[in-house]
Structure 1
């Protein structure tokens, strides 16, 4: 996993980006026009995260909302099926909350199931010295190069191997960013070759494809109203992670772009609420979520349409609260060229007032 650490911060006049890191601060601040400028920070940008060691559990912070999370989303194929898979575990030790989440979507048939359950503290283990997670129903071992994940739910199971390929993505270039006053640590392994078995609907499938793994820890701000996260893997090898967060009345929408050579672009994104439409209401939570967006990154000549695939009803209601974790697809232009592909979208909060 290489990283030559070149960072460009691009302003696009639609959002504010704050990059936090040891010895390096770069800011793209909202403006009034549509023109863009780029500033090169140069090589040797210090990172505040380390995938080799940071797959281990972290020492909890003092805040009640401090959390430690690792998850991956997969696009895998098997015998005419296109499956989207999500696996996550999160711990909020200051609230004595520990959980596991698994969801599977058959994008061709619309079949969907999810399973989220709380885990007793005494039954939950996440090593502080490496990637060794054990609990009833979930085993997650290995390291940042290769991981082995086994999960069992009432409706199916999986046994997957994830092998990292390409560079690591440190969000905002350094792996530290500000979420409305709460400092977040986050990195991704956005290209993980994925193989193994998936058992659903009474059948076991041999699957293969790619996963995007995300590792995040830190406190959630009390002012947070809603957020959207989505990932895109582009045909030219670029990986794009988008965050759009609303805290109080302040909205920050921005993207980290990782190129195949390990260099970065940071770019402002037009707020997703501006184009969100075709809303779906969760029958249990009552939350409303959009199922269509227009993702615009003007400084990167990017304008793509994103839509939920398989079924709109991919809401998870459980230990971690209500949220939509959905398989999606995108098409449009990226850097002025036509693109299309599959991705995942996470939405937390109620969009009825958007």
Structure 2
């Protein structure tokens, strides 16, 4: 069922990896939506949309029973662009934030189901070694995610105890050759376990959270994109930041941030620069990735963002979008009164 392409524990000199101590706290909202907001987007229905491209994506920052902090990235990606009968790309990784020389990664493929709805009409991407499965009838409020390999794995349950972040304010925006829709639950209460080299670790729910990101598209940029998830400790500020470069026939250089604050959403444009000096070249894809970025926001704020370790690529060989840098990052600067943050960067080159 699963065709393995890339699996391993990648060692890296401690001199190239900087350990980070994060403040990780889930939100405790009673509802993920505000009933006063007239959303056009039906969050339950959107869980089942396949469109031309569809993505179910989680990052879990967690504190485990061994007192280490970890980052788990899990992604189910389905794209019909240029493919008549695609499989789902199943990829996931675990980074030991406390000891970032330890990193596990896997990418494989599973057959595309006839429907993303299970027999109970709930979201279901259900395979023995990988999956996402809704545990409530709305397919949003409580979701299980898992991945299992011989030397590492995880089994998480996250609850929508966080206010939704709707990208670009309404959820839909230009995505190259067509529109895309994206929304997120950025700080969900999380329970479960992770397994590293046959050692089972328990997640501390008081010091862990999951960012669930849902996106489905009717087009794609013919170029590159960089996306950041940023979290700011001891605040309700969460940021989804896009830098997209799309070539003909749908040219555009889009730079914008959707920021969830205590009082609602703010949309900002950004200036975006990536380092030419601090880089890492993948031995698998031969892509050179920047490891540091400088962002200037239209409100005058600024951030410098750095990767937690160089090697954080997920590699597949079927299509360009199977290759992605999905890496933990830290941020510093001045952003809406915050000085430090942390999150994830995604870098994809489609041509």
1:221-265 Cα distance to aligned partner (Å, 9 max, x none): 3x521100111122321111001100126311100011234x211
Aligned to 1:81: 68
In the alignment, the residues of structure 1 paired with residue 178 and residue 273 of structure 2 have an alpha-carbon distance, to the nearest angstrom, of 21
In the alignment, the residues of structure 1 paired with residue 350 and residue 291 of structure 2 have an alpha-carbon distance, to the nearest angstrom, of 13
Q: SS of the residue aligned with 1:173?
A: coil
8 A contact 1:97–1:119 mirrored in 2: yes
Whether 2:101 is the aligned partner of 1:114: answer: no
Aligned to 2:329: 328
1:81-104 Cα distance to aligned partner (Å, 9 max, x none): 121101111223544222211111
Q: SS of the residue aligned with 2:44?
A: helix
In the alignment, the residues of structure 1 paired with residue 112 and residue 45 of structure 2 have an alpha-carbon distance, to the nearest angstrom, of 23
In the alignment, the residues of structure 2 paired with residue 231 and residue 92 of structure 1 have an alpha-carbon distance, to the nearest angstrom, of 22
8 A contact 2:141–2:159 mirrored in 1: yes
Aligned-CA RMSD value: 2.3
1:13-50 Cα distance to aligned partner (Å, 9 max, x none): xxxxxxxxxxxxxxxxxxxxxxxxxxxxxx85x53422
In the alignment, the residues of structure 2 paired with residue 87 and residue 2 of structure 1 have an alpha-carbon distance, to the nearest angstrom, of 21
8 A contact 1:276–1:294 mirrored in 2: no
In the alignment, the residues of structure 2 paired with residue 287 and residue 321 of structure 1 have an alpha-carbon distance, to the nearest angstrom, of 13
Q: SS of the residue aligned with 1:126?
A: coil
Q: What is the 5 A alignment of 1:166-245?
A: 166-208=162-204, 209-221=208-220, 223-234=221-232, 235-245=234-244
- Structure 2: tracts of 5 or more residues without a match: 1-30
In the alignment, the residues of structure 2 paired with residue 181 and residue 98 of structure 1 have an alpha-carbon distance, to the nearest angstrom, of 22
8 A contact 1:304–1:334 mirrored in 2: yes
Shift of residue 278 of structure 1?
0.5
TM-score by length of 1: 0.78
The correspondence for 2:132, drawn from 108, 132, 140, is: 140
Q: SS of the residue aligned with 1:272?
A: strand
Q: SS of the residue aligned with 2:203?
A: strand
Shift of residue 202 of structure 1?
2.6
Whether 2:63 is the aligned partner of 1:72: answer: no
The correspondence for 1:312, drawn from 285, 310, 334, is: 310
Whether 2:238 is the aligned partner of 1:252: answer: no
Aligned to 2:294: 294
Q: What is the 5 A alignment of 1:268-287?
A: 268-273=269-274, 277-287=277-287
- Structure 1: tracts of 5 or more residues without a match: 6-42, 61-65
8 A contact 1:47–1:173 mirrored in 2: no
Return the structure number with greater strand share.
1
List structure 1 segments (4+ residues) > 6 angstroms apart after TM superposition.
none
- Closer, same or farther in 2 for the Cα pair 1:2/1:192, shift >3 Å? closer
In the alignment, the residues of structure 1 paired with residue 181 and residue 350 of structure 2 have an alpha-carbon distance, to the nearest angstrom, of 25
In the alignment, the residues of structure 1 paired with residue 273 and residue 160 of structure 2 have an alpha-carbon distance, to the nearest angstrom, of 30
8 A contact 1:325–1:347 mirrored in 2: yes
8 A contact 1:270–1:295 mirrored in 2: yes
Q: SS of the residue aligned with 1:157?
A: strand
8 A contact 2:175–2:217 mirrored in 1: no
The correspondence for 2:93, drawn from 103, 107, 111, is: 103
